[in-house]
Amino acid sequence: MNVPAPLFKRLALIGFGLIGGSIARAARAEGLAGEIVTTARSERTRARVAELGIVDRVVETSAEAVEAADLVILCIPVGACGGVAQEIAAHLKEGAIISDVGSVKGAVVKDIAPHLPKHVHFIPAHPVAGTEHSGPDSGFAELFINRWCILTPPEGTDADAVERLRAFWTALGAKVEIMTPEHHDLVLAITSHLPHLIAYTIVGTADELAQVTSSEVIKFSAGGFRDFTRIAASDPTMWRDVFLANKDAVLEMLGTFNEDLSKLTRAIRRGDGEALFDHFTRTRAIRRGIVEIGQDSAAPDFGRPHPQLEKKPD
């Protein structure tokens, strides 16, 4: 039986947390790369990746990882992308596709593009999937199934390269959409970044309440608060970088949110039940729309299974 050739001869993953680890597991399961090479900042992480046996080679530096790679994916916080791009630029293979997984695209383009040679194809990407867990043990091959991956190729990017990257993410199980970096950042500011900011704030507020003890907050958490705590448990480094990198769009959405919150505050203060009912009815319809198009399932992004976590060392 003829085995189809892999999409890429060598895949290089810079960083190996939840997303990098999930890409490696899924790419191996689907036979998408002839060889998978990775590196990570800490020696401990590199050692753990080697123990897991998910990739073919674990190397010490980003420059070494990208040698002869057809596809290079930066799976690191967006704030670190510029420095890594500068480090790998001279070692990139001609015709290689360079991508990332960050949830901010405008800042990533600005930080990475100036360092890359003309003979490579730079196609930023954002797989809209995740859990509250991080580290090399947290990834799982099914993470991207039926989730969106947004590509934001700069104007003039080679169409064949874009299609190859689209085919890669499709093979991982994702649905692929193409946007400009600016539009991506505006969309994600309201659908992802602002909800995370609100979750961090609510959990922080609960922690600071003098009238309610921390044990009571934990013991009597209702479903809504539990959902907030899952979101607020996300990687602090990643989210610090996201808010700083997408500052303008987040502040714009935060301003609109504060205006709406002020309206609800006035309605509660005045006992205006009709205004509250109308608002809740409208937002309920949005929830129904999300369910109807299949963007909700029994396995949500946060809290999806990750069996490897049970094997995580101290």
What does the pLDDT read at residue 302? 46
Give one DSSP letter per residue of 144-184, joined into a string: TTT-EEEE-PPTT--HHHHHHHHHHHHHTT-EEEE--HHHH
What does the pLDDT read at residue 46? 96
Lowest mean pLDDT among 28-42, 164-178, 278-292: 278-292
How much of the chain, in percent, has pLDDT values that exceed 90?
Answer: 62
Mean pLDDT of the chain: 87
Lowest mean pLDDT among 131-140, 200-209, 271-280: 200-209
Q: Is the pTM of this model over 0.95?
A: no
Q: Kindly tell me if the per-residue pLDDT of 145 is higher than 70.
A: yes
Q: In this structure, how many other beta carbons lie within 10 angstroms of the beta carbon of residue 226?
A: 11
DSSP 3-state of 235: coil
Lowest mean pLDDT among 36-45, 107-116, 167-176, 274-283: 274-283
Give one DSSP letter per residue of 33-47, joined into a string: EEEEEEE-SSHHHHH
**Mean per-residue pLDDT, 127-141:** 88
Higher model confidence: residue 181 or residue 231? 181
CA atoms of 81 and 100, how far apart (whole Å): 8
- What are the C-alpha distances in Å from 47 to residues 13, 53, 232, 288, 307? 15, 10, 28, 45, 20
- Count of alpha carbons within 13 Å of 77, Cβ hemisphere only? 17
What does the pLDDT read at residue 300? 47
Judge contact between 98 and 92, C-beta under 8 A: yes
Q: Kindly tell me if the per-residue pLDDT of 271 is higher than 90.
A: yes
